[in-house]
């Protein structure tokens, strides 16, 4: 693995966008959500395992979505009906998804991963993904299967709720990533994707080798938005550091 050190920046949206719209938003509250997420409000579980909404430890309200019974090979992906075809994307070329997530370790000895994956219209390709591991490290994967990492403790506290955000810009065919409001600036070419449409923004939870030990991944306050950017929609505010390692996504 070749390690790269690149300049990073804190990037903020400039004021003003035209025709901003929320495609889907939820905090997983009752009465819409009760004991399960699967089959409720357009959400579907893929890969098995336990997917529920739990009335404890929510970031806001009284409920959150929980992925449990983690395995070394299982993937828990569930998504709402928020797809946008190429015509919609041409008129409004910015799609942004965010969720707050945290890890409950239990007695697990395994490294766990949780995060967001954004797909194209037929869900055949991951356009961008952002994960937080249970050791606090952060991994980004783009649509060209390039991966970049931040070391443990650099930006995320896995035991607390962290806001993760991905923005797809279909004009530039580039994805932007944020953790807790701080933008991750990748090496040149990082963040690229190839697509003219949008399918969904899924949750992803799994673990590595070791005992599961009652570990879970919690998700709350999920939102997907679409907007037409105003001129100068991003402003470069400052520089920081990002240690990035490139590897092929499994």
Which pTM value belongs to this model? 0.82
Q: Which residue has the tokens 């015509």?
A: 87
Q: Which of 89-93, 158-162, 191-195, 230-234 has the lowest mean pLDDT?
A: 230-234
Quote the pLDDT of residue 145: 93
According to CATH, what is the number of the domain 2-248?
Answer: 2.60.120.260
Residue-range domain boundaries for the chain: 2-248
Average pLDDT over residues 203-212: 80
Highest mean pLDDT among 35-44, 57-66, 223-232, 238-247: 57-66
Q: Which of 49-53, 219-223, 231-235 has the lowest mean pLDDT?
A: 231-235
Tokens of 60: 């806001």
**Residues whose CB falls within 8 Å of the CB of residue 36, separated by 6 or more in sequence, listed in order:** 51, 52, 53
Per-residue HEC secondary structure of 101-120 comes to EEEECCCCCCCEEEEEEEEC
Secondary structure of residue 87 in the 3-state scheme:
helix
The conformation of residue 7, written as its DSSP 8-state character, comes to: E
**Better pLDDT: 119 or 6:** 119
For 144-171, how does the pLDDT look when each residue is reduced to its tens digit (9 = 90+)?
999 999 888 789 999 999 999 999 999 9
Q: Which residue has the tokens 């919609």?
A: 88
Q: What is the rounded distance in angstroms from the CA atom of residue 6 to the CA atom of residue 28?
A: 38
**In angstroms, what is the C-alpha Rg of the chain?**
17
* Peptide bond just before 212 cis, omega within 30 deg: no
């Amino acid at each position: 693995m070749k390690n790269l050190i690149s300049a990073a920046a804190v990037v903020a949206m400039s004021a003003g966008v035209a025709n901003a719209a929320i495609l889907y938003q939820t905090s997983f509250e009752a009465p819409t959500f009760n004991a399960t997420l699967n089959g409720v409000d357009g959400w579907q579980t893929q890969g098995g395992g336990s997917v529920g909404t739990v009335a404890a430890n929510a970031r806001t309200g009284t409920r959150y979505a929980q992925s449990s019974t983690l395995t070394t090979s299982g993937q828990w992906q569930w998504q709402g009906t928020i797809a946008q075809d190429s015509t919609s994307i041409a008129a409004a070329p910015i799609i942004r998804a965010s969720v707050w997530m945290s890890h409950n370790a239990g007695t697990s000895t395994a490294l766990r991963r949780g995060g967001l994956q954004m797909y194209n219209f037929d869900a055949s390709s991951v356009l961008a993904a952002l994960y937080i591991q249970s050791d606090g490290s952060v991994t980004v994967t783009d649509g060209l299967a390039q991966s970049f990492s931040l070391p443990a403790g650099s930006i995320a506290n896995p035991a607390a709720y962290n806001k993760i955000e991905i923005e797809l810009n279909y004009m530039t065919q580039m994805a932007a990533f944020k953790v807790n409001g701080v933008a991750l600036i990748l090496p040149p070419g990082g963040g690229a994707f190839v697509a003219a449409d949008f399918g969904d923004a899924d949750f992803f939870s799994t673990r590595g080798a070791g005992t599961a030990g009652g570990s879970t991944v919690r998700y709350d306050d999920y939102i997907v938005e679409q907007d037409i950017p105003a001129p100068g929609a991003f402003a470069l505010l400052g520089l920081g550091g990002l240690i990035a390692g490139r590897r092929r996504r499994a």
